[in-house]
Structure 1
Amino acid sequence: MQIKEEEHITVHYYILLPLVKKVLEKDRELFVHGAFKVKDPYLGVIQEALQLLHQDMRTIKAYMQKHRMRVQFEQNDGIFSRYSYVCRGYEGTSSYLNANLKRQARRCMDVYFSKRSPLHSDSILHE
């Protein structure tokens, strides 16, 4: 038995969105403590993106609870990150090329900066 495509996408966003959150929060701190003359516009854009991101993370978490899904980080060897998941009793593992995760995180950020959710865009995972 395989997991459905929608479940696979959910697992992937469960992995990807915390990475995006970490980058945005780190960037926010750089703007707060950086030597920028006008910080507010940048901080506002980042804060709006984080709000959308948190909504999406809640959506993903609720979906996973409803469908009895769990994801666990296994290892990062510097090139690949490996995760295990359980979905409807089916267990599996997925490996992600770190460079692809970075590229997809950047695409997610672009979508959040345009005040949209990447959960509604299939292009994040398939470009």
Structure 2
Amino acid sequence: MLDEVQRNLVQRYIILTLVRQALEKDFNTLQASSLFCQESLHSFLTERMHEVGREIGALQRALRKQQLTIKKEKNDGFFTKYSYYFKGYEGTFSLLNARLKHDALTYMKRHLFKLETKQ
């Protein structure tokens, strides 16, 4: 069973991978479009992707140190199922997709775009 610290590492890792996927999708959409201020948006998204990448790297090192691996299993539209492996033990948990989306958006607003959010 995971303790609170390990559970927080897992949740942060999952949220940050979702944030990275969203930024990459936005980046690819931006490259395919022709906007007036495309260069500044391009550099903004690139900086944010690097920022998220550095944080994911730090989380991966912390997870390796804890001997903890995470694997996304399936997404049924409402829930996403994840498996974790910890020192020979295996477990699964499901997270509500709406909650994942909310947490990823909250992270982006607070940390990447420096916006205040209401709790």
Band of TM-score, shorter chain: 0.7 to 0.9
One-letter identity of the residue aligned with 1:113: F
Unaligned runs of 5+ in 2: none
Structure-to-structure mapping, 1:34-45, within 5 angstroms: 34-45=33-44
Query: 1:11 and 1:87 mapped to 2: Cα distance?
Result: 11
* Identical residues among aligned pairs (%): 30
Shift of 1:97: 0.5
CA distance in 1: counterparts of 2:92 and 2:56, whole angstroms: 21
In 1, the alpha carbon distance for the partners of 2:46 and 2:74 equals 31
The one-character-per-residue Cα deviations of 1:29-53 (angstroms, maximum 9, x if unpaired) are: 2222212111122112211111110
RCO comparison, higher one (Cα < 8 Å, 6+):
1
Q: CA deviation at 1:88?
A: 3.5
Query: Is the contact made by 1:45 and 1:113 (CA closer than 8 Å) also made in structure 2?
Result: no
* 1:113 alignment counterpart: 113
**What CA distance in whole angstroms lies between the structure 2 residues aligned with 1:49 and 1:19?**
13
- Using the size of structure 1 for normalisation, the TM-score is 0.81
**Runs ≥4 in structure 1, deviation > 4 angstroms?**
none
The number of residue pairs the alignment matches comes to 115
Residue 90 of structure 1 and its aligned partner are, at CA, apart by 3.7
Structure 1, unmatched stretches of 5+, are 115-122
Q: 1:119 maps to what in 2?
A: none
2:79 counterpart of 1:84: no
CA deviation digits over 1:6-39, x for unaligned, max 9? 1001111222222111110111122222121111
Range with bigger deviation, 38-47 or 55-64: 38-47
Q: TM-score, normalised by structure 2?
A: 0.86
RMSD: 1.7
Task: Show the counterpart of 1:21.
Answer: 20
Q: Is 1:46 paired with 2:42?
A: no
Name the counterpart of 1:66.
65
Q: What secondary structure is seen at the aligned counterpart in 2 of 1:78?
A: coil
Give, in angstroms, the shift of residue 87 of structure 1: 2.3
**Alignment partner, residue 55 of structure 2:** 56
